Amino acid sequence: MTEQMRQQINSCIAAIAQGDELALERLSCLVSARMLSVAQSVVKSRAVAEEVVQDSFLRIYRNAGSFRRNSNGYAWICKITQNQALNRLRSERSNAAENIDDFFFLASDVDVAAQSEAELTVREAMQVLAPFEQRVIYQRYFMDFTLRDSAASLGRSLSAVDRALKSAETKMRNFLNGGTKPL
């Protein structure tokens, strides 16, 4: 996620608050795929995840006016999406499953044969992590969460999240540099 893209997202949110329909289109092009991935890191069904994203866009539209311009709009969108997905899970009386692996298999629109090297590498790299580490590193690197965001989201202390993140980063670096391979 580049700083330029973050700024674009923030501009879109501000424009949506003013009723700019094209800004909503632009935002959906920028983040819809990422939102689907976030939704699928919580709910298992792709169809349910798509509904979650639809509902998330509704919340983004309805709450764009209260968005603080100087904060991270992308992380705000990811929080909305994750919360919508968790609400959906609760409404279906399911457990908040530790199914973060699922998004790698389901979120992409490319077919299996066309899966990119990046997608395959992320899948393999995540397998060297413990479930909590997977969640933390995904929130940090994909959802752009701060440590405080993750701690609040996961109901854990800042230090616990920090430890898990450092451990996950070390394991991932080792893997990416040809070290530990997943079993």
Partner 1 sequence: MMKKDEQINKLFDDYAEQLAPREELSSKARAEMAASDGKKSSSSRKRSGWLHLLWIMPVWIVFALSLALVSRVIFGHDGNGNHPGADDIPQTVDYYTFADVFGKRVQPNDANEYAKVEDCIKVSALKQRYEVVSERYYVFYAYGDKQPRYIKAYLALRSADGVFTELELIAEYDGYVRSDLKEVYECVSDNKIFVWSADFDQSGEYVTKGYFAARGAHFYVVGRNGQPSQEVCQIISEIM
CA-CA distances (angstroms) from residue 29 to 7, 89, 117? 15, 26, 22
22 counts as binding partner 1 under rule CB under 8 A = yes
Tell me how many degrees the CA angle 109-48-92 measures, rounded to the nearest 5: 155
At residue 100, what are phi and psi to the nearest 5 degrees? -65, -25
Among 30, 86, 152, 154, contact with partner 1 (rule: CB under 8 A): 30
109 counts as binding partner 1 under rule CB under 8 A = yes
Cβ at position 29, least distance to partner 1 in Å: 5
Cβ at position 97, least distance to partner 1 in Å: 21
Candidates 90-98, 128-136, 171-179: pick the segment binding partner 1 (CB under 8 A). Answer: 171-179
Candidates 46-54, 84-92, 94-102, 127-135: pick the segment binding partner 1 (CB under 8 A). Answer: 46-54
CA-CA distances (angstroms) from residue 160 to 25, 70, 147? 38, 28, 10
Nearest Cα neighbor of 79 from 14, 23, 12, 150 is 150
- Cα–Cα distance measured from residue 158 to residue 147, given in angstroms and rounded to the nearest whole number: 6
182 counts as binding partner 1 under rule CB under 8 A = no
Among 6, 32, 63, 152, contact with partner 1 (rule: CB under 8 A): 32
Among 78, 85, 125, 128, contact with partner 1 (rule: CB under 8 A): 125
Cβ at position 138, least distance to partner 1 in Å: 8
Among 63, 83, 146, 180, contact with partner 1 (rule: CB under 8 A): 146
3 counts as binding partner 1 under rule CB under 8 A = no
Q: What is the DSSP letter of 92?
A: T
**Helix intervals (H) in the chain:** 3-17, 21-40, 46-63, 73-91, 102-106, 117-126, 131-141, 147-154, 158-176
88 counts as binding partner 1 under rule CB under 8 A = no
26 counts as binding partner 1 under rule CB under 8 A = yes
